[in-house]
Structure 1
Amino acid sequence: MITFDQVHFYYQKGQVILEDLSFTIGAGEFVAIAGANGCGKSTIAKLMDGLLLPKKGKVTFKELDTAKPTELEAIHEGVGFIFQNPEDQFITTTVMDEVIFGLENIRLPREEIGRRLDYSLQAVQMDHCREAQPHLLSGGQKQRVAIAAVLAMQPQAMIFDEATSMLDPEGRKQVLGIMHDLHRQGMTVIHITHHMEEVLEAGRMLLMDQGRLAYDGDPLTFFDTMNAADYQLGLPFAVRLHRMLQPGTPLTGDWKEMIRRQWSGS
């Protein structure tokens, strides 16, 4: 679905951000992109959606090339983008107007706008706030409105660029729940995060290190076989707990059930 083919990127010549980066994210995957600050995670997100263009190499969504201006509109429709700060996406004065703004711009029939409005607000559990002013909502509520506005456009993939980093634990839990609900419904989800607990929830992990892809695979395998500290990453609580309870044994399979059994002593 989304392919990087030998992508190079820099903001200033001589200061490489990404170097010879190649990978493919398939339809229906849940992928976490992790790495230390400055490793290029957010740059990757913007390249995926065509907000940035590679200096060398190619980024494609399906058969669409981000470097071709005639194909960018279709890419923006197919790939939704959720920013770290939801207020960066707000341009209207009510939740309802925020969700329907993009729909009106593509001139959908009013009946279809109403249907998508109802669906997207219900999907993020914000239907009761449709007349509220977005800037008066809590952080978690703001992020859910931003998700609803993108979801209403019916993208095939959604990029969450540090979308939980500014939220309290309850807000993070709500947004993560929405991500997983969307994934279960068939959405391709790309989650860029520095929270290792969130990485552990993904089906696949891409680890960036100094502009290069250092790891691509199952998150459990990474935490079992590689030293996270070498990449300036901490260990998820579940991994630390497992190592304390059963040192030397691999963390595989249904790790949540394994931790539960170890914690309860059963």
Structure 2
Amino acid sequence: MSIQTDVAVEIADYVATVTMARNPVNAADRAFRKKLIEVFDELGERKDVRCVVLQSSAKAFSAGVDLKDRPDPELWGDITGTHRLTRETFNAVRECVKPVIGVVDGPAIGFGMVLAISCDIIVAAENAWFSMPEINVGLAGGVAAVQSFVPRSLARRLLFTGARITAKELAQFGVLEAVPPERLDAFASALAKELASKSPPALRYAKRSGNFAELMTPTEAYKFEQHYTTMLASSIDGLEARRAMLEKRPPIFTED
């Protein structure tokens, strides 16, 4: 295990577990955000990682940005640079070529909620809750992320009021997996193990297709993903997957 600036990384059986540990509530200062970017950039390139789990050992998944580390409006470029850093933190998770499972076992507030939304799959304890209280602290962030996450009316209610919503309530919209708290770790671990058993190129192409499809019309998206299907079909792992299915045995993937 390597521990750097309140972020711990452990790799085993092709699963990288990233644990946010900036006590007490993972308030994200700029150093913390920079470290998350570095960690996800590295994990995206490592050949011994096929899946990433993002979790917290603090009281919250993340209680948002650290208000003690706000940019200085009198320092030219400080606000612009800080905003870019925040965007790139989310992008580092979203653009990581490995699938990312966000495990939420406590409040995910503001920055924390958008960080969770940036993950490919969210697994949350039923009693965990999410909130975008920016409107109550003189800010207005997270609009694009929240509106892409839940239906329009609900998104705007959350954004306009700063209200809390539980994982159990959100699960009704199919946007996350809500499980009893005592089953959370086992559920997330089993899911990560399953993803890590898949072909790395197939996971990479599926995630890239999913990310770009969100920006395209259905027709454009289908053509885009067919390009990757063609590439995968002729790959070593693609051939092995079909051979294993016909031979009724688990596939053995060898491509990075």
Q: Which band: TM-score by shorter chain?
A: under 0.3
Give the number of the structure with larger relative contact order, counting CA–CA contacts within 8 Å between residues 6 or more apart.
Answer: 1
Tell me the TM-score normalized by structure 2: 0.28
Whose helix proportion is higher, 1 or 2? 2
Whose strand proportion is higher, 1 or 2? 1
